[in-house]
Amino acid sequence: MVFNPRMTSHSTSLAERLAAVHDRIATACTDAGRSADEVTLVAVSKKHSPEAVAEAAAAGQTVFGENRVQEASQKIPLCDERLDFHLIGHLQSNKAKFVPRLFSTVHSVDSGKLMRALDAAAGQAGTSLRVFLQVNVAGEAQKFGLKPNELPSLLRRAEDCYNLNVDGLMTMPPIVRDPEDARRWFSTLRELRDRMRDETGFPLDQLSMGMSHDMEAAIKEGATFVRVGTDIFGKRVVPQEHPND
């Protein structure tokens, strides 16, 4: 039988799985001729408890990712206030007002409307937010994210968002069996960033790409943030659909 690290997740501790993820990041960085401190690990704690967050924090993890404001607004107040939470999932602009007191960073800005709502919310809260623009690199109909050709006008509008630091791009590429096949989408995002940097003057230093199964491929293509859930916390339990969810 082929060794599958995910099958051991019940017999290993969270700290061990976290260390294994750090090892994979370090190895991928070495392979790519990059320094491991160029890549920040976002531990995706969605659908996991505040206790699991505390366990990861005790093992040294400081940056966490949540994909829903509703869940995060219940969980984050129960967590150590020194932890840094990032919003990584789609957000409706009418929920932007909840973001500044919960999150430092939003990876999933996918419309001008949301960008302006976040700017207003940050201003209201007397703070600023770091945001990444989410790009639908493969043009998948069912996925959130901007079309590449929408970026220039959005970045022009970002110049007036004084409470936002528009600092990079994010993508969720099509799911493929062999992570190496995802590399072309990660390189597409990097090349898009390079082009936007030249055209708009926004440095867009951060590339948020790569998850449990494809973080190595993303790092080889320049990821500065990888968002990893399953390989740290184990499989997410899918709860019964709530009618109002």
Ligand X SMILES: *Cc1c(COP(=O)(O)O)cnc(C)c1O
Q: Of the candidates 44, 52, 76, 91, which one interacts with ligand X according to CB under 6 A? A: 44
Q: Which of residues 182-221 bind ligand X (CB under 6 A)?
A: 211-212
CB of 83 to ligand X, least distance (A): 17
Please work out the total of residues on this chain that contact ligand X, with binding judged by CB under 6 A: 12
Q: Of the candidates 9, 45, 67, 224, which one interacts with ligand X according to CB under 6 A? A: 67
63 lies in the site for ligand X, by CB under 6 A: no
Q: 172 vs 189, which CB is nearer to ligand X?
A: 172
93 lies in the site for ligand X, by CB under 6 A: no
Maximum separation of any 2 CA atoms in the chain, in Å: 57
Q: 129 vs 228, which CB is nearer to ligand X?
A: 228
229 lies in the site for ligand X, by CB under 6 A: yes
CB of 228 to ligand X, least distance (A): 5
CB of 135 to ligand X, least distance (A): 13
Q: 46 vs 130, which CB is nearer to ligand X?
A: 46
Instruction: Determine the interface stretch with ligand X among 30-38, 139-147, 182-190, 226-234 (rule: CB under 6 A).
Output: 226-234
Which residues contact ligand X by CB under 6 A?
44, 46, 67, 88-89, 172, 211-212, 227-230
